[in-house]
Structure 1
Amino acid sequence: MIEIPRETAAFNESAAPADVVRRQYLAWARGDLAALRTTLADDVEWTEMAGFPLAGTYRTPKSVTSNVMERLAAEWQGWTAHDDTYVVDGENVVVLARYTAVHKTTGKPLAVRTAHHFVVRGGRIVRFEQFTDTALVRAAMTA
């Protein structure tokens, strides 16, 4: 496990893979989609896993924020990805995390573990893949 610096000037400018990924989580938590897009490569491949409500691969920063972050915010109250543990091997960053939220239609809460695999090159996220228990997500969406 590595120590991730929080809000410092060096952290905000760092191209280190873990720092880039952390900036992405912080931007999402603030709802700052413009800042989040700056962490993504122009040709990013962002894959939400099969079975997840937003399943698919999105290939531009705008597509990622429009089809993932904005849709999650529209359908869920307080959708948060809690980035708990980072495992770093070169350009690969695996984050063990948790999603928490309440579905706006059903009112059901969600608390599910997730793992995110990022590939970071040149200070930008070039690839993302999500792993989570999609059955728990769908159960929270079902009345």
Structure 2
Amino acid sequence: MGLTPEDFAVSTAPRDVVRRQYLASAAADLDALRATLAPDVEWTEMTGFPLAGTYRTPEGVTSNVMEVLGRDWSDWTAHDDSYVVEGENVVVLARYTAKNKATGKAMNVRVAHHFVVRGGLIVRFEQFVDTAQVAEAARVD
């Protein structure tokens, strides 16, 4: 079940834009997620994370990050627990939960995300995560 356009037209406040991104991700609604991203978005997954690197464009982000996570992990969810907002900067303290499809191992790892939102769109994202815990869940014994 996808989100409706009304879910994304409510507010351009940075916190609200970031929250809609999490809701779209949790619903696996990639069109809605792309609608939160600027055309020139820079999305950086941390060094050591399975998808490490910087991805550009909304399509680049969803095809290289969200689609791959969905392919390799069952029930991948980023739980946005708390927000710290200062101007266009939004830091989210969160956690990832998922089960690796190849190993069957579950993970529950704390994470911090830094977003920059301008003009109602996410222009930059940077992930901070304990990559060792993610790697352990993906490691075949």
What is the CA–CA distance in structure 2 between the aligned matches of 1:110 and 1:48, rounded to whole Å? 18
Where structure 1 has 5 or more consecutive residues not aligned to the other structure, the ranges are: 1-6
Q: CA deviation at 1:10?
A: 8.3
Counterpart in 2 of 1:81?
78
* 2:45 corresponds to: 48
Q: CA–CA distance in 2 between the matches of 1:40 and 1:142?
A: 32
Match of 2:30 in 1: 33
Shift of 1:13: 2.0
**Mapped partners of 1:10, 1:114: distance in 2:** 26
The yes-or-no answer on 1:70 pairing with 2:76 is no
Partner of 1:117: 114
Q: How many equivalent pairs are there?
A: 136
TM-score (norm 1): 0.92
Matches of 1:136 and 1:51, distance apart in 2: 11
9-18 or 32-41: bigger deviation: 9-18
Question: C-alpha separation between the residues in 1 aligned to 2:55 and 2:27?
Answer: 22
Name the CA distance, whole Å, in 1 between partners of 2:76 and 2:7.
28
In 2, distance between residues paired with 1:13 and 1:84?
21
The alpha carbon displacement at 1:62 in A equals 0.1
Deviations 1:89-130 (A, max 9, x none): 000000000000000000000110000000000000000000
Q: 1:133 to 1:33 in 2, by over 3 A?
A: same
2-structure distance, mates of 1:96, 1:118: 12
CA drift of 1:20 comes to 0.2
For structure 2, the 5+ residue unaligned runs are none
Cα deviations across residues 18-63 of structure 1 (Å, max 9, x unaligned)? Answer: 0000000000111100000010000000000000000000010000
Task: Report the Cα distance in structure 2 between the residues aligned to 1:29 and 1:137, rounded to whole angstroms.
Answer: 19
Question: Partner of 2:59: helix, strand, or coil?
Answer: helix
Q: Percent identity?
A: 71
Over the aligned positions, Cα root-mean-square deviation in angstroms equals 1.4
Q: Distance in 1 between matches of 2:8 and 2:135?
A: 36
Are the equivalent residues in 2 in contact too, given 1:11–1:19 (CA < 8 A)?
no
